[in-house]
């Protein structure tokens, strides 16, 4: 082939190649709006705790059920004509502190909770699944991924935190955070309330079991009470914890004592207590 013709063909191909590159570079990329994507992302609303054994502990799983003892989540109650936020919790979750910051520019919730587990839960794996809500449909679902934590006597007092944030223009507009503390308790054998007068004379003894919540009025002459809790360790050793409460202490004559009895599953329920009132 004539060299001149070959040269013309090569120049034409080069021109076509360069024009193609120019089109690829000049074309504006098509991207979705990341803010719109974020607004549709599920938001953290709570958690579910389950346990499984790697020794001789418990082994059970639970679903998203209000009767579930290890569930906690924030729920929007839209009962007409008002709308408000409420916390749904099971009878194993203690909620001493909930912090809200709901304003025009920020909606944040921080929850400090704890659970009290008996000896049956030692040497188990605690798994936490996040409860998420769809911002558009408001439908709740349980995240399939679990956060696993191995439990033993050594890590009693284990604290776990999870947080979810949503930002608009690098400013946090939504936040949900939970902090969970795990506490262990030995087997509680019995609880006694001993009443004394102001001369330290013993007046009365009342023994409580694990069947429920109790209310007790002291005798008229009772000046103070001693609360005795008898525990048994896993090795069989028995010990007693005592606390004293006096009439008019801290300007109140009513005291509440949490009963540390574990139920048939093995955890301490948050609705079993003694309400002691000085007459």
Task: State the pTM of this model.
Answer: 0.77
Q: In what order do the strands lie in the sheet with 224-232?
A: 202-208, 187-196, 224-232, 238-246
179 vs 15, 113, 158, CA distance in Å?
65, 6, 10
pLDDT at 29: 36
Residue 11 CB contacts under 8 Å (≥ 6 apart), including other chains: none
Residue 145 backbone dihedrals phi, psi, to 5 degrees? -75, 140
Task: Give the three-state DSSP class for 237.
Answer: coil
pLDDT at 155: 57
pLDDT at 59: 64
Helices (H) then strands (E): counts for the chain: 2, 16
Task: Give the three-state DSSP class for 246.
Answer: strand
Provide the token pair at 135.
């911002």
Distance, CA of 52 to CA of 54 (rounded, Å): 7
Distance, CA of 72 to CA of 92 (rounded, Å): 10
Low-confidence ranges of the chain (pLDDT < 50): 3, 5-9, 11-38
- Are 140 and 171 a contacting pair, CB within 8 Å? no
Provide the token pair at 134.
């769809």
Cα-based angle 90, 268, 109 (whole degrees, multiple of 5): 40
Q: In what order do the strands lie in the sheet with 43-53?
A: 84-89, 71-77, 43-53, 124-133, 140-150
Distance, CA of 210 to CA of 68 (rounded, Å): 20
Distance, CA of 150 to CA of 251 (rounded, Å): 43
Query: Which residue bears the tokens 């520019």?
Result: 105
pLDDT at 39: 57
Neighbours of 13 (CB within 10 A): 10
């Amino acid at each position: 082939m004539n060299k001149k013709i070959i040269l013309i063909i090569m120049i034409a191909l080069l021109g076509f190649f360069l024009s193609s590159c120019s089109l690829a570079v000049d074309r504006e990329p098509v991207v979705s709006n990341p803010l719109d994507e974020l607004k549709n992302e599920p938001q953290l609303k709570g958690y579910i705790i389950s346990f499984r054994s790697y020794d001789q502990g418990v082994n059970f799983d639970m679903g998203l059920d209000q009767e579930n003892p290890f569930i906690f989540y924030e729920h929007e109650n839209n009962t007409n004509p008002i709308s408000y936020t409420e916390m749904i919790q099971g009878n194993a979750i203690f909620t001493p502190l909930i912090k809200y910051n709901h304003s025009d520019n920020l909606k944040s919730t921080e929850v400090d909770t704890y659970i009290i587990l008996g000896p049956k839960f030692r040497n188990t794996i605690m798994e936490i699944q996040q409860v998420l809500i769809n911002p558009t449909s408001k439908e709740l679902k349980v995240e399939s991924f679990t956060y696993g934590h191995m439990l033993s006597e050594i890590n009693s007092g284990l604290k776990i935190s999870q947080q979810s944030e949503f930002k608009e223009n690098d400013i946090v507009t939504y936040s949900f955070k939970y902090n969970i503390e795990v506490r262990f308790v030995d087997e509680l054998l019995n609880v006694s309330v001993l009443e004394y007068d102001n001369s330290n004379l013993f007046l009365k003894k009342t023994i409580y079991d694990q069947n429920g919540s109790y209310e007790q009025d002291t005798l008229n002459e009772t000046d103070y009470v001693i609360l005795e809790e008898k525990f048994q360790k896993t090795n069989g050793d028995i010990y007693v914890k005592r606390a004293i409460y006096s009439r008019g202490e801290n300007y109140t004559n009513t005291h509440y004592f949490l009963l540390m009895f574990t139920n048939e599953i093995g955890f301490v329920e948050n609705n079993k207590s003694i309400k002691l009132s000085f007459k």
